[in-house]
Structure 1
Amino acid sequence: MSQPFPTQSHTPRTPAVPADAITRSLVARGISVAYGMRPVLDDLDVTASPGERLGVVGENGVGKSTLLRVLAGSQAPDHGTVTRPAHISYLGQVPDLPHDGSVRDAIDGALADFRLLEQRMRQLEAAMADGDHEALEAYGDVLEEYERRDGWSADARAARSIAGLGLADLAEDRALATLSGGQRSRLALALALVMAADLMLLDEPTNHLDDAAVDFLERALKEQHGAVVVVSHDRAFLDAACTAVLDLDPTLHLAPDGTPSTGPARYTGDYTAYLDAKAAARVRWAQARDAWDVAYDEAKAVLTGGSRQIGHGYRAPRDNDKFIGHFLGERKDAAVSRRVRDAENRLARLEKNVVPPPPEQRAFAGLATGASADGVLVSVRDVEVRGRLRLEALDVTADTRLLVVGPNGAGKSTLLGVLAGAIEPDTGDVRRQRRLRIGYLPQEDRYADPAASALAVYAAGHDDPPEEQRDALRRTGLLHPRDLDKPVGDLSVGQQRRLTLARVVSGHPQLLLLDEPTNHLSVALVEELQDALAVSRVPVVLVTHDRWWRRQWDGATLALSAAR
């Protein structure tokens, strides 16, 4: 028999106000966490009330998963306090399912809390039948808890969640140790939904889910009575499921009072509202910078030419008017001195409170100015890769914007490999324009020498001096300067994806072939890539599971069916 599935009551390691059954909201104040000398979370406040669904976004490494562990009580912060409800459901990216036991054991573990409440109600009912009047109040409290968490439908909810996440055919006597990674993740998520906890913490829950399962998850989260905090890079999911967005990126932005501020920012509304608010904030930021520039230039102008401006219109005194001239001259000197002092004070205030220019979107700037080719770039005729792809004809031209869709196994990735020349078809003809520069982003990032530095991998094939390559990679903003000399094998999957993207862009491609470019990237970087491609003259063939991008696609679509 396996141990019960761990979901609800954690013993908080965080200094906190003791949680009790009345506490329904999450309140975290001043949370700070550092790994060695590197701060990850710095004096962060997070709140979530019953019924609120807070989406957490940010670049890789800014502490999203760390934050969830702190909120769950499984990791202590260096500083700060957390007040949390008694009933918590926390699901990390790696599911915490036991390896022994069966699917039925895991379901029973998820329902164990409801079984205890039911047992307690039976005990109190017996006590009341024996005339114990004090048991009535206790029974009311237990019944209220049971009904609030919808204990009556817990078993039905478990069956519905398991089916909704695509596990309807999973036998209950199936050993947990035999489940695939995707099945384990979906089962753990289904059981987390069963809890109806007062606080649900989810880390990338849409991983391993198809569109139907994500739709079910969105509906299920809207039915949760408790607070939900979810880390996700899935923009369509954030838009459908969340009522607020917390952006952890440590970038400078304008606070509500119009002053520059650094650190995380919280936005009310769904992901669309978050994007609108960020765009409006950027406009205010640019306006604030323009106003600062004007004020600074005016103050500098006074200091460099103010005395001449003050004396405008002054005439030299006549011989019989020397007293008046002396008096006016003193007034002029006083006015000049006062104006100069005012300008100096104004300049000092401006230099103390500089409004920097808004950050530039640098990573994919080269795509907007890339040189395009003419005519048919790649021609495909009667191509077959046995068991993977069959395609009669496709012409990729200089104005192609093509989204390739189809079920798993339809050959979407295979098609991009064929177009790039990375896969040779068994039959058929593929012709590419001579000297065509193709920027090919495969679905997985692989490096021949894991010990090679990120800079060496980026510079391979380029003739420019090493320092120029270092500057070029640094200017993209895709990798932190401290990571340029790291072995690529030591980079995270997100950093490796960024490095591959940097290589693709650096080649000034005349054709882009992008296979799941959103994998392992933050939502901010995906937005920048999508915006860059929207205005780029470079033709593109795209494969993506990103529903947000697919819904906004304005080019042609090629639907593939499974090869036979």
Structure 2
Amino acid sequence: MIAINNLTFEIGARKLYDEANWHIKPGEKIGLIGANGTGKTTLLRMIVGEYKPTSGTISMAKDLTLGYLNQDLLSYASDKNILHVAMEAFERQNQLHTEIENLLKKLETDYSEDLLHKLSDKQTEFEALDGYNIEYKAHEILAGLGFSEADTHRKLSTFSGGWRMRVMLAKILLQAPDILLLDEPTNHLDLPSIQWLEQYLKDFEGAVIIVSHDRWFLDKVINRTVESRKGKLTVYAGNYSFYLEEKALREEIQRGEFKNQQSKIRQEERLIERFRAKASKAKMAQSRIKMLDKMERVDDVDDDNPTVNFTFRFSKQSGRHVVTLEDITKKYPAIDILDHAEAVIEKGDKIALIGANGRGKSTLLRIIANADKDYTGTVTTGHNVTTTFFAQHQLESLHLENEILAELQSFAPKHTDTELRTILGSFLFTGDDVFKKIKVLSGGEKSRVALAKALTADANFLVLDEPTNHLDIQSVNILIQAIQQYEGTVVVVSHDRYFLDNVANRIWYIEDQKIKIYPGTYAEYEEWNSKRKFEKAPTTPQPKKEEKKPEPVKQQGDDKNQQLKKLNQDLGKMEKQIADLESEVKKLENHLADDKIYSDQNRLKQTNTAYQQKKNELSTVKEKWEALAEQILELE
């Protein structure tokens, strides 16, 4: 489909890619990963022809169609409504529609055979291209990405940047290209839209290449992971979690080879020193020196997973109740957000506030942080509570003439320069970057500085609105570690589900203008919520003949017993299936524990893939078993 051979790309004296190779096959769902600055976006631009490689080739079929979503599309401007903009994807259908309309107009006065034949040909082609359904398709995809019917009639220019980017994504999806190249597609989506996009991409028949820092999203969509690192492209035959496991195995092998080689080198060096002392052995010493010089050296494994080595400091411990919300009502002209809502945030809570955009998450966050006072009800901040609020508008409080390091020094004088540079390094500011002035930074860079400031504050209560925006996967991991070790209280809004699952111990969501609470992790909440949706789903109506004659109580009891019997039989089958899968998983684990497997990369990959598949199957069957067991308990 696409063949990348010996690709080299240089920026000045630096080689971003150095004879890299990669073959993209039809239907593959690929996650292109790597630290910031390793060339992921550059590679996508080379594939679409925007950049030219220094050397090497990128070859593909001439008729291959590409759909490329990138952040530059934010600058696209139009005064047409978003339905019209999305339907620009159907270039040939739109052209035919215009031609058909013109021909029909001419036929009002000209009934020639030539015109009728032309009209027939155009209509046949239009129908063959499914032209009569293009508006329906556009409505369907726009709805999936969170647009209401009323939104489709609004001009593109009236939407914020994030919503305009969704329209661009809709337009690209409607083009249905052979291969989709998506650069951070979840950046401007809320959770329901991300979940819709996941399913769309899984069902998409073409190939997909995704650059994303959203680990959860990658795990749901991709079946290949390609790592851009040190100028090379390394392919892993699985999703992001598989990549982590496989990479750990490869690094373990590499670390062993490195240690063995270093031991051999030291042994040779000792022999050389001993031979040098004897004239009769000098020739042998020279021979061994040449052998060492020619030896292909094995690199030691680099640590790509830095850990947090700074500590949060706050001088006061808060009281038990951090914030109490009583009888809160908040309305906008077009929507009611909260209606007599109540909730309590207690010391040590780490709360994820989730839901679709427009449901009031950020509004509630501002009320909690005392940044929005236009509501009715009472918000009580507890004893000794000191709050730091991070949101995108906090960028305005940065001092533009300050250097990055000086900005943090003035804000957090209790921290040493080493600690501050460590924090900044976690958020991608390394070396002399810390001496850049705030005014020359991009919006994303300013956001990272503001987040670093928030984490150095003398605050025992952190309120964070989308803190993972503009962070790569490593930086998200750093933030996770930082919040996990933080002994204060946290409330966070984020669409990064991996991040939420690793930091939150309580989930808040707004439903029916009330604050609802789930006491657990995000993964537990999602499992519970999917069961709840299933239980709420409408049941299939009974045949009318059964509705006409109500059955006696005894018959209903018999039906219940029959239903229970059937459900218990199904439960027994699932238990047998679970036992079989657990046995298969155990066998595969034993294979992976065998040292011999590491000498056969193909066998290792196959075994790892089978292991991951069986683990996923086992997890799915266990979930079904739990849902069925709960149904049986309710009936009993």
TM-score by length of 2: 0.61
TM-fit CA distance, 1:479: 0.9
Which residue does 1:546 correspond to in 2?
Answer: 496
Which residues of structure 2 form unaligned runs of 5+? Answer: 100-120, 331-336, 516-636
Residue in structure 2 matched with residue 228 of structure 1 by the alignment: 208
Q: Deviations over 1:69-111 (max 9, x none)?
A: 3222244444443333433323322257561444454355322
2:253 corresponds to 1:284: yes
Show structure 1 runs of 5+ residues with no match. 1-24, 121-138, 252-261, 308-331
* 2:309 paired residue among 354, 365, 368: 365
Q: 2:432 aligns with which of 467, 482, 486?
A: 482
Q: Deviations over 1:447-491 (max 9, x none)?
A: 431121112112224558997578656765731323222111222
Q: 1:98 to 1:403 in 2, by over 3 A?
A: closer
Could you tell me whether the CA contact under 8 Å between 2:82 and 2:154 is conserved in 1?
Answer: yes
Partner of 1:314: none
Query: Do 1:450 and 1:488's aligned partners in 2 also have CA atoms closer than 8 Å?
Result: yes
- CA distances 1:509-558 after superposition (whole Å, capped 9, x unpaired): 76655442211111232234335655x36345242221233345672334
Aligned equivalent of 1:356? 300
Match of 2:346 among 370, 383, 395: 395
For residue 109 of structure 1, what is the aligned residue in structure 2?
88
* Cα gap change, 1:293 to 1:540, in 2 (>3 Å): farther
Q: Distance in 2 between matches of 1:303 and 1:376?
A: 69
Aligned twin of 2:264: 295
The answer on 1:160 being equivalent to 2:140 is yes
- 1:236-315 to structure 2, matched below 5 A, reads 236-248=216-228, 250-251=229-230, 263-299=232-268, 302=271
Aligned partners of 2:481 and 2:315: how far apart in 1? 18
1:219 Cα deviation (Å)? 2.6
CA–CA distance in structure 1, aligned partners of residues 355 and 135 of structure 2? 36
Structure 1 residues 326-345: Cα deviation after superposition (integer angstroms, max 9, x where no partner): xxxxxx96998798668756
What pairs with 1:513-528 in structure 2 (closer than 5 Å)? 513-528=463-478
Whole-angstrom CA distance in 2 between matches of 1:335 and 1:513: 76
- Report the Cα distance in structure 2 between the residues aligned to 1:477 and 1:183, rounded to whole angstroms: 26
Conserved? CA contact 1:478–1:499, under 8 Å: no
Question: Structure 1 453/66 Cα, relative in aligned 2: closer, same or farther at 3 Å?
Answer: same
TM-aligned CA deviation for residue 169 of structure 1: 0.3
Q: Please give the alpha-carbon distance, in whole angstroms, between the structure 1 residues aligned to 2:77 and 2:28.
A: 30
In 2, Cα distance between equivalents of 1:48 and 1:214: 25
Work out which structure has the larger RCO, using CA pairs closer than 8 Å and 6 or more positions apart in sequence.
Answer: 1
In structure 1, what residue type is equivalent to 2:347?
V
CA offset digits 1:119-166 (Å, max 9, x no partner): 99xxxxxxxxxxxxxxxxxx9xx99xx98x988965543342233223
Aligned with 2:324: secondary structure?
strand
Map of 2:41 onto structure 1: 65
Q: SS of the residue aligned with 1:265?
A: strand
Shift of 1:270: 1.8
Is 1:495 equivalent to 2:464 in the alignment?
no
Residue 399 (structure 2) pairs with residue 449 (structure 1): yes
Distance 1:373 1:43, change over 3 A: farther
Measure, in 1, the Cα distance between the counterparts of 2:388 and 2:257: 39
Q: How many residues align?
A: 477
Say which SS state the counterpart of residue 138 (structure 2) adopts.
Answer: helix
Give yes or no for the alignment of 1:50 onto 2:26: yes
**Cα distance change on mapping 1:281 and 1:524 into 2, 3 Å:** farther
Matches of 1:54 and 1:174, distance apart in 2: 35
Amino acid at match of 2:302: P
Listed one character per residue, the Cα deviations across residues 402-445 of structure 1 (whole Å, up to 9, x for unaligned) are: 434355567655676677787789844323548x7x77644555
CA contact (8 A) 1:413 1:443 kept: no
- Quickly say closer, same or farther: Cα 1:492–1:563, change in 2 above 3 A: farther
Cα contact 1:493–1:520 (8 A) shared by 2: no
* 2:357 matches 1:379: no
Deviations 1:196-246, CA, capped at 9 Å, x for gaps: 222322222223323332233223223333322232222222222222222
2:106 maps to none
1:89 paired residue among 58, 62, 67: 67
Contact 1:474 1:481 in 2 (8 A): no
Which of 377, 380, 403 aligns to 1:429? It is 380
Is residue 497–residue 521 contact of structure 1 (8 Å, CA) maintained in 2? no
Instruction: Tell me the equivalent position of 1:215.
Output: 195
| Equivalent residue letter for 1:89 | G
Moved more, 422-431 or 454-463: 422-431
Matches of 1:95 and 1:342 in 2, distance apart? 63
The structure with more helix, counted as a fraction of residues: 2
The structure-2 alpha-carbon separation of the partners of 1:232 and 1:409, relative to structure 1 and needing over 3 Å to count, comes to: same
Does the aligned pair in 2 maintain the 1:58–1:524 contact within 8 Å? no
Q: Indicate the percent of aligned positions where both proteins have the same amino acid.
A: 26
In structure 2, distance between residues paired with 1:155 and 1:77: 40
| Structure 1 contact 372–538 (Cα < 8 Å) conserved | no
Q: Tell me the equivalent position of 2:542.
A: none
